Chains A and B, each alone.
Chain A
Amino acid sequence: MRKLLTTTAALAALATMAQAQDGYFAGKSIDVIVPFGTGGATFVSAKFLEPYFEKHLPGNPEINVIDRPGGGSILGANWFEQNAKADGTTILFTTSSTANPFVLGQEGVEYRLSEYRVAYSHPFGAVAYVSPSTGVTDAAGIKESSNPLIYGGIAAAASDLPGLLSFEVLGLDVKSVLGFTGRGPVRLAFEQGEVNIDYQFTPVWLTQVVPSVEEGNAVPLWTGGAMEGGVLKARDPVAPELPSVYEVYETMNGQPPSGIEWDAFQGIASVTYAYGLTGYLHPDAPQEALDAFAAAVEAINADPEFQAASQDVTGGARLSAGPETEAAIKAALSPSDEVRTYLRTLLSEKYGVNF
């Protein structure tokens, strides 16, 4: 029986190889442009995915991950706008740090992100937690904090935006201290007791915060949530024991969230969390290339090697691709005029952002 299985596996492997050799990307090489520095979370994720795409894309193309940091990712994205090849062999792999300036219409943005095609996307969940010194024991009790809540962040218009918007949705009175150089130093400030409420993304949550929670030095609150039927209400598989922001609102107010605050949060949070790391292609990329990526994503998700590795790194998160993913990302990238006005007003009045 075992022999039969191995033979079948070998045959299957041969079949995929044969299929792969004359696939769309045969003999090509793909450049993955990461608009952040080497060693950053986005670069590491791109390197993590690289071997799986090389293995599963038809034609087994060679993949090069290239960092192009600068301008808070704007320089790298502008470079992509000017230099991307239309055949799908240049990918812009980036986060909401590129999406938010585009959505808000900031100065210096030359890239047309909402016109790009979406090759694949990887969730990048975030978990909120507080210090036990606040006396808060669960999400519902967040308003009964015994100390004023202090949140540390980098900049309002960058990846801190969904976190700040979640405070608006929940109606929390949080003092935001912006100006840290990264989320790492914020974590250090939390450990030192300088800030007492924080959000961290999946890898840091799993490796840094979970141990703190076990030692009783941090109290987990909620996650940003995951998409379900076009609404950001499901629980994040990274921490399924925690409610989503949507659920927390429901518990607090007895009704589902709605209104401009929620629309703004959902739009920004979905490109930050549910589609946190997205690979974009040139607007004229052929459908064949997009189909190839969609098929590769399916194969990668089914690859036991990937499943085992992702369990350690991202809590078992899966890639997504295809028309549904693309539609959701494009919807978030072109918000209604009300949402855009709300965001711009909030940012300029509360956080002093100039447009």
Chain B
Amino acid sequence: MIDNALIALDALFDPMRLAALFAGMLVGMVFGMLPGLGGVAAVSILLPFIYYLDDYSGLAMLLGAVSVVYTSDTITSVLLGAPGSPASAPTAIEGHALAKQGQAARALGVGFLASMVGGLVGSLVLFFAIPIAGPIVLMLSTPELFMLALVGLFFASSMIGKDLAKGLAAAALGVLLGVVGPAQAAADFRFTFGQVYLLDGFSLTIVALGLFGVAEVISMLAQGGGISHQRMEVSQWGDGFRDFWRHRWLVLRASLIGVLGGFVPAVGASASTWVAYGHAIRSTKDKSKFGKGEIRGIAASEGANNATVISDLVPTLLFSVPGGPAAAIFLGALFSFGYYPGPRMVTQNPDLMFLIVWSVALTSIVGAALCFAITPMLARLTRIPFAIIAAPLVLVMVIGAYQATSTIGDIFMLFMLGALGWLMKHGGWPRAPALVGFVLSGPMEQYFWLTNQIHGWSWLTRPGVLVIASIIVIPLLISGVRKLRQWQSNEAVTEPEDTDTAEECNRSVALMLAALAATLFLYALWETFTFNPASRLMPLLAIAPGVPLTLWLVFRGVREFKPDLARDAGELTILAVLLAYAVALWAIGLTIPTLALLCWMLLARAQMRLWTAALYGAVVFAAIWFLFDVLRGDPPVGALIPLS
């Protein structure tokens, strides 16, 4: 085994292969930084090129791209607050809050190092794929996978926040978004309103970009000025290294959570990242800083997401079952080089297996180092007026969203969910539970249904199920016992002092959102009765708490109502402009609305001088066309005026 490992290492150090690996890594870094474009886009772009290379070089190129995306996305998440990829939404929450406090270097340092550890743990798991990881994957049948989803939900419950009603309503809303589209259990298409677009449900990328990215861009555009009001020092990495070392065990635990997430077929890095983030919240005594810049949140989520994409390769290589979307494309590439993954391939081509291990390990380290190197340059961007960055940022998000199905529906969804995210942000609803509900509702429903169909209720006594259940039960018991002791010793429960300095939510927006959500839930309740009984369970799980909660929130909203909508009038205008942009894209195609949007942002918002704006706008516009061209070839064409 060691022999093969060394042979593979030698094979990788062929200059051509190293060049391919690092070329892939650079593409992966760029795509990791572009919000909405991640591993899948990077790998799809590289796919045509690998056929010009030999098999090892081609695969190394893809692996270079896959294993660095979740390292470099940290930069966008922290500096801009828009998740660089869906799985770094927790990093965007915590890291961006830290960046606003002038602690970007600390957040980035921990993020890069945690990503590197996640990548290395993933490689180690891959190294022991045959003796250890393979049997674990085979042990995870549908009942165990269902239990894992429950564990995720349990960890996620710590994200609800202080306003219980709003947190739960947000989670229920997320689950409701998650059940749109084909039901797992029976042949029902739920809440599609006869739109073919909705037949597949919502794309995770669009939901994450809409809820977090668009809403963030709107706020920053309205505030004006740069991203950070304080000078952002990112040359001092010492704090980051110290923080990383202090939380090393958390990073390691998060990486293991990520590895487990990778073993579950077709569950991407998002689910395990949220679970790891939830774990970080649960395992932190002073929870008050979560949501306002907690370094442990970054350490956990970055450790998890990189571990997931790499351990995604375990089911891919051992069973030909892709663990995630990027792994699916990698599987296709293996096919086209004539490798047919399976237990046989792994024993017949051990060199290839170790080549993969070395590639991801090497990229994890070099990628993190490179991120450290380029960040000081990128951080300067945060000093220039945000409106200048916002223009390309919005357009890249549009392209990222457009990757889902390449129909105008993607763009509408992006901005409609952006509006929802904005309402939630200003109405005081936490967005994390909504995204978690969205991510987990699919696997939960699917595995519950399959489990019950195959095993009846006997699955409850399976040893694997009991082991996983203990992850939930033991912490509950411990905290129960602790509470009991405190109660016996009559000790006052010392809750950490609430240091909530965040601005109060906008009452009008809160009322609007509550009314909107209540309408959605009531409509969903009505439509649910037309489904097969098996397809009703999951929607009802969202609707049953959703209806009373949102009605209560409407009632509360009316009681506390203040006509304070004008406070956020500036942001509302920007939201309206973005929605109008989406409609114009649909009506008259890409070119004219995009030019108009660029003019408005650069001249009206950023107040650039005419000739600078013209030059900069032309460069951005050309870059956008170039991206459309390499990614797909045809930008949206107008429905009323057939321009593109």
Contacts and interface: CB of A to CB of B under 8 A. Distances in A.
Interface of A: 37-40, 43-44, 47-48, 64, 66-72, 74-75, 78-79, 107-108, 150, 152, 155-157, 175, 177-182, 184-185, 187-189, 191-195, 203-204, 206-208, 211, 309, 312-313, 347, 351-354
B344 to A, nearest CB: 5
Central interface residue in B137, B331, B453, B534, by most chain A CB within 10 Å: B453
Chain A contact residues: helix, strand, loop or mixed: mixed
Contact of B405 (A44, A70, A184): A70
Interface string B378-421: 00000000000000000000000000111100000000000000
A177 B182 contact: no
Interface string B328-342: 111111011010111
B19 interface: no
Given A72-B200, A181-B446, A351 B186 contact: yes
Contacts of A211: 342-344
B616 to A, nearest CB: 32
B130 to A, nearest CB: 14
B265 A185 contact: yes
Given A39-B328, A179-B449, A185-B321, A70 B187 contact: no
A312 B406 CA distance: 34
Interface residues of B, number: 56
A44 B320 CA distance: 14
Nearest to B331: A39
Contact of B342 (A194, A208, A313): A208
B24 interface: no
Contact of A38 (B184, B329, B404, B455): B329
A354 B137 CA distance: 36
A67 B338 CA distance: 21
A184 B322 contact: yes
Interface stretch (B115-123, B191-199, B289-297, B559-567): B191-199
Contacts, number: 157
Contact of A75 (B325, B405, B446): B405
Given A71-B200, A184-B321, A309-B338, 12 more contacts: A37-B325, A37-B328, A70-B200, A179-B446, A179-B453, A181-B265, A182-B265, A188-B321, A211-B342, A312-B338, A352-B532, A354-B189
Nearest to B335: A44
Contacts of B588: none
12 contacts: A39-B329, A47-B336, A68-B405, A70-B407, A75-B197, A178-B186, A179-B184, A179-B446, A194-B455, A309-B338, A352-B188, A352-B532
B320 A192 contact: no
B315 interface: yes
Contacts of A353: 187
Central interface residue in B185, B196, B197, B266, by most chain A CB within 10 Å: B196
B319 A157 contact: no
Contacts of B341: 207
A328 to B, nearest CB: 28
B338 A313 contact: yes
B633 interface: yes
Contacts of B405: 68-71, 75
A155 B196 contact: no
B522 to A, nearest CB: 22
A184 B328 CA distance: 11
B222 interface: no
B142 interface: yes
Given A177-B453, A211-B344, A184 B330 contact: no
Interface string B31-51: 000000000000110010000
Contacts of A180: 446, 450
Given A38-B47, A40-B328, A72 B454 contact: no
Contacts of A38: 43-44, 47, 328-329, 332
B138 interface: yes
B197 A181 contact: no
A177 B184 CA distance: 10
B465 to A, nearest CB: 13
A44 B332 contact: yes
Nearest to A179: B184
B336 A48 contact: yes
B450 A203 contact: no
A43 B344 CA distance: 24
Interface in B600-644: 632-633
B338 A155 contact: no
A22 B319 CA distance: 47
